[in-house]
A and B are shown apart, each in its own frame.
Chain A
Amino acid sequence: MDDLLREFLTETFESLDVVDVELVKFEQEPNNAKILDNIFRLVHTIKGTCGFLGLPRLEAIAHAAETLMGKFRDGVPVTPESVSLVLSSIDRIKEILGELEMSNGQEPAGDDQDLIKELERLSESADSGELAAQATGDTVPAAEAATDEAVTEGEDIYQVLERPLRPGEVSLDELERAFREAEVEIEVATAEDDEDSDASEQETETPAAPPAPVTQSDSVDIKIASNKPEGEAKKEEVKNPSARSSNGQGVSNQSIRVAVDTLEDLMTMVSELVLTRNQLLEIVRRHEDSEFKVPLQRLSNVTAELQEGVMKTRMQPIGNAWQKLPRIVRDLSQELQKPISLEMIGADTELDRQVLELIKDPLTHMIRNSADHGLENPAERVAAGKPEKGTITLSAYHEGGHILIEVRDDGRGLNLDKIKQKALANGLTTEAELEKMADQQIQKFIFAAGFSTAAKVTSVSGRGVGMDVVRNNVEEIGGSIDVRSQEGRGSSFIIKIPLTLAIVSTLIVEASGDRFAIPQLSVVELVRVQSNSEHRIERIKDRPVLRLRNKLLPLVPMSQLLGFEQEEQLDEDNGFIVVMQVGSQRFGVVVDGVFHTEEIVVKPMSSMLRNLTMFSGNTILGDGSVIMIIDPNGVASAMASHASGALVEEVEEKAEEISEEQMDGDAPISMLLFRAGSAEPKAVPLSLVTRLEEFDVAKIERSNGRDLVQYRGSLMPLVYINETSQHKSEGTQPMLVFSDSGRSMGLVVDEIVDIVEDRMKIEVVSDRSGILGSAIIKEKATEVIDLGHYLPLAFDDWFMRKEMQEGPSHRTLLFVDDSAFFRNMLTPVLKAAGYEVTVCASAQAAYELLEKGEEYSAIVTDIEMPDINGYQFCESLRGDTRFRHLPIIALSAVVTPQSIQQGRDAGFDDYVAKFDRPGLIAALKDVFTNEMGVAA
């Protein structure tokens, strides 16, 4: 795209935004000629430039719109219909410009006749209306005069334009004649350049002559200036400049345009300077009487000023983000049929342009919300004794290093009862908690995800994705949002955001030997941990908490958040708790040490690390080392996901973690002990159990020869451990629910005994179906049940959907499967067959183990795995000399000749169906026998 066009696009977008705002103003004050002039001039400029750049589509629309506005200027009454039409033309122009920008300067194909016709129709009806009103016929509207005369006036050389004239357009003949009649020495330049603004200014000069300032029958806009007596025309010229600047239209020569990139670069350089200064200060701090001290102090001051200065260049008035709002409110007001006035206070409050960009959308959303369900209908308002017209007030002001933006309406306010109901319905809270909450706390529920109290969804808002998105957006830039509302009086939303994102004050802390920076904004206080003081870490079900001023503060060790440790080993005597607040969430992060606070310049992380939500960036500290900056939002969401975990999920998660680490089959695992059928206890790994439930026996239904219960909206088949045993006929029936990939089955047991943590070492392998064997658990012989037997009883194809694996005894096996379910399920099977099993959740993890030099007698791998599938895994192992002869067995739910062939091609020694456990054992035996043969 050439520079000219780019410049044009930038300018035009800017002008269009102004036109939007001005038009809305104009609609309210149709007699304000200054506003109209301004709009007219802008549209005219757009039209002119488009013609010049060869953009016929844009030109045509701009022209038609201009013509209509010309009519307003001629005194035709302004109607909402016509303003809407002009606004939609502006929208169309924006649309085309947008495409123009994307397509690198190619005007998109398309037809705007619909709009143009409509615009022309209005212009013409305006004409006729005007004619009727103007009883005397001596005022002929320009357009008609032009077209008529173009044909009738024969005295001029007849000039042909290759297209028909549009209404309001001046024929070439007219133009020619105008030139001829014009007194030669007068301002041809002005007439050409700026004809319309000149003309319009003239009209403001002569307000005495409305509605038709043009009184000569042959006059056209272009001629007004030149037809005036010379003296007057000159006076005009003299007046023009002052008139313009008083209109605020004068191009200020006190400012220059600078590319944003240049400023960004400058900002980066200053940031570097700040860092270097910090480094120097650090050095000088260590040398008491350094002669550098004084000059450095000076450098430090200058740097600070420079930093401030550059920051200023990035500052923009918040009004820029508000520019579109009047238009939006106007449209909403029409759509919702509520008169609304929008007041904007503090539009010149400045903030960093980066922040400005980021709050535009949330603000728009909030305004829409206020207009749609904040304000009542006119009738309701009158009934409530309020003025019919609703008011939305938008204000902005500075406070400390922050900017506060408030969106206030005088509408109905938030309905506490509705919010309570909704919060209960969404399971966000309980009745008991609600009782204790202050109104303000209850109101804050509107920021929860999926929360909308609007009874019905309108096109404007009420989809329940509203305020939580706003909150997220605001929090993403380190801000916060609050609501205050009084029922019947209105609501007010207050957004608090930092002035700039570039420089942050942080607290430097240490965890697991590394330092991290936590933004001060989210740090509420620091608490020192001491086991013998009141600030003592206590635990509820292993989760650490702290009593802080009669409130319970959930804690999480930083090292755990960062994945350094799996188990929480808190040094209960030597630690600090950084109390953080993110939105309404308050929690404590336990760190090993707290250093000082430091102003840092946030640098974005490389794209390789950008997916880490725990960090918002990194920076260079005074001592030259790089430090990661903790993102409080990331911590908060990690906390939230931690906290919401129910017991079983938690166990599952742990199991998951363990197996990811490389689950050693000998590690203790949680077992669920229960009784079913016989007196001896039975056990199943707890991690396989999704839930423990009790059902009223009466709820068990029989259908198609099997027992079912309705469970979470669908039917769950029940399987009895011991088919022959007596089924209860009344009371409740405990069962273990197993779920995988959306299916559930209930295993009916007689009694749930206990949950224990123990090694599962199967001592006696069983031949009985359904029992893997016996193990000593809690010093008692316990039957370990074989889920593999029961699951297909509920769904024949349970194993078809996934794959599993296993291996033989006295040898080490590496078992790779992405499904925790099958990992847990098959490990006992393989161990029962006498193998030592190491489990990996992915091929990647398996590579790592192999890289570490771990040796295995064989590998059993699932085929269908994300990222690297079993075929790829096998192929790559075969490509490595170390593993060329390692037996590898594939496990798959899909067993077809093709898949077996593919497995063979990939280098698998054998290919076993996932549910064929005897087959797997046999295959393992087989490969080992072969291997021995080869070795021998």
Chain B
Amino acid sequence: MSNYAATNNNEQLHNSSEHVQYVTVVIGGQLFGLQISQVHDVFVPEKVTRVPLAPPEVEGVLNLRGRIVTAINMRRRLHLPPLEEDQGMMAVGIEFKGESYGLVIDAVGEVLSLPVNEREENPSNLDWRWAEISGGVHRLPGQLMVILDVDKLLQSLIEPKAA
């Protein structure tokens, strides 16, 4: 398991070898964790402009303090049913290769500091569409937290289109 961590994560991880801090989010009832170093900000997506002809995962584009952010609907990406109407949405701002993205999620949780050696690999029966973007699982008391690998996630959305 720690092997996995070492190969799959970059230097930041080595630097703070013991613990990694995660921002937890909830998508469709499932707890996910994003490495805190990858999270730029958390915001409420407002006035999202839809982008015709865009991939279905793209919720649209929005103005976040003067920057144009491409919002990604995580429920759609994870093949979960859409959120009920009127339920508030949240978004996690990510910088990827100099571009701003916002992952639209159900709710933001807390910041957890978790020891690296407790990380487990993806269970082999995990839905491949999830496994594709998951960097492992942490067993928390009472629930499991799937690590959302932001790089893999965005790469998976950008690349097939470029091909």
Binding site for B on A (CB under 8 A): 272, 275-276, 514, 562-564, 603, 605-609, 611-612, 614-615, 618-620, 624-628, 847-848, 851, 853, 867, 872, 875-876, 879-880
Contacts and interface: CB of A to CB of B under 8 A. Distances in A.
Contact of B49 (A275, A514, A880): A514
A628 B51 contact: yes
Interface in B91-145: 97, 99-101, 125-129
B88 interface: no
B49 A851 contact: no
B55 A620 contact: no
Given A867-B160, A880-B127, A626 B53 contact: no
Given A272-B66, A626-B61, A879-B127, A612 B51 contact: yes
A611 B157 CA distance: 12
B79 A607 contact: no
Nearest to B61: A626
B17 interface: no
Contact of B126 (A614, A615, A618, A879): A879
A612 B60 CA distance: 13
A295 B47 CA distance: 29
Given A614-B52, A624-B47, A879 B128 contact: yes
A641 B116 CA distance: 54
Interface string B34-78: 000000000000010111111110101111001010101000000
16 contacts: A276-B66, A563-B52, A605-B61, A607-B97, A607-B162, A609-B70, A618-B49, A618-B68, A624-B47, A625-B47, A626-B61, A626-B62, A628-B52, A876-B129, A879-B126, A880-B127
B158 interface: yes
A623 to B, nearest CB: 9
- The interface residues of chain B, by DSSP majority, are classed as mixed
Contacts of B56: 848
A432 to B, nearest CB: 38
Given A276-B66, A626-B63, A879-B125, A608 B161 contact: yes
B6 to A, nearest CB: 27
B29 interface: no
A609 B127 contact: no
Nearest to B157: A608
A628 B126 contact: no
A690 B127 CA distance: 40
Contacts of B68: 603, 606, 618-620, 626
B81 to A, nearest CB: 7
Interface residues of B, number: 36
B128 A872 contact: yes
Given A620-B66, A879-B127, A514 B52 contact: yes
A370 to B, nearest CB: 37
B159 to A, nearest CB: 9
Contacts of B60: 626
Contacts of B63: 620, 624-626
A562 B58 contact: no
B61 A628 contact: yes
Given A625-B47, A853-B81, A611 B162 contact: yes
Given A563-B52, A628-B52, 18 more contacts: A562-B53, A607-B162, A608-B55, A608-B158, A609-B51, A612-B53, A614-B53, A618-B49, A620-B63, A624-B63, A625-B47, A626-B60, A627-B49, A628-B49, A847-B79, A848-B56, A872-B128, A875-B128
Contacts of A875: 128
Contacts of B70: 605-606, 608-609
A866 B131 CA distance: 20
B97 to A, nearest CB: 7
Contacts of A614: 52-53
Contacts of A847: 79
A848 B129 CA distance: 13
Contacts of A625: 47, 49, 63
Contacts of A880: 127
Contacts of B161: 608, 611
Contacts of B62: 626
B100 A514 contact: no
Contacts of A853: 81
A889 B154 CA distance: 33
Contacts of A851: 79-81
A906 to B, nearest CB: 12
B153 to A, nearest CB: 11
Contacts of A618: 49, 61, 68
A607 B99 contact: yes
A628 to B, nearest CB: 6
Contacts of A848: 56
**In the complex, which of the residues B52, B66, B161 has the most CB atoms of chain A within 10 Å of its own CB atom?**
B52
**In the complex, which of the residues A612, A627, A848 has the most CB atoms of chain B within 10 Å of its own CB atom?**
A612
**In the complex, which of the residues B63, B72, B158 has the most CB atoms of chain A within 10 Å of its own CB atom?**
B63
A605 to B, nearest CB: 8
A606 B100 contact: yes
